[in-house]
């Protein structure tokens, strides 16, 4: 009984860690998407302004620099989101493996179970 209780606690810890990693990955992805939306907005506005109004090179260069500055956090947040998503999958897989090991061991002969 003690072994089963300990196994359930370990499985639930991995499942909880997977949930936390998923939440972190989703927040980081949302932050990355916000940065990308701002970049698209700035680039779109610059393109619209260059077509419909007189073109100012200094403003265009300033916006271009801002786009590049915003692309760094967008890329970083996307990469960190990927890391958290991979951790989530690892924790979920470990949790599933631990859930499945007891029924598998129970199907083995007595000597093999102890090994």
What total of structural domains would you count in the chain? Answer: 1
Asked, for residue 6, whether it belongs to a domain, the answer is no
68/92 Cα distance (integer angstroms): 36
pLDDT tens-digit map of 75-99: 999 999 999 999 999 998 988 887 7
Asked, for residue 68, whether it belongs to a domain, the answer is yes
Asked, for residue 40, whether it belongs to a domain, the answer is yes
82/89 Cα distance (integer angstroms): 11
Coil/strand/helix, residue 54: coil
Asked, for residue 2, whether it belongs to a domain, the answer is no
Asked, for residue 1, whether it belongs to a domain, the answer is no
Asked, for residue 95, whether it belongs to a domain, the answer is yes
- What's the pLDDT band for 32 if we cut at 50, 70, 90? very high
Q: What is the pTM of this model?
A: 0.73
40/84 Cα distance (integer angstroms): 26
């Amino acid at each position: 009984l003690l072994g089963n209780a300990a196994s359930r606690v370990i499985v639930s810890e991995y499942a909880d860690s997977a949930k936390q990693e998923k939440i972190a990955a989703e927040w980081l992805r949302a932050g990355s998407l916000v940065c990308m939306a701002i970049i698209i907005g700035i680039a779109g506005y610059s393109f619209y302004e260059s077509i419909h109004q007189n073109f100012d090179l200094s403003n265009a260069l300033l916006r271009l620099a801002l786009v590049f500055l915003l692309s760094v956090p967008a890329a970083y947040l996307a990469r960190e989101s990927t890391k958290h998503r991979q951790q989530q999958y690892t924790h979920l897989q470990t949790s599933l493996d631990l859930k499945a090991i007891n029924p598998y061991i129970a199907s083995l002969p007595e000597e093999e179970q102890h090994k």
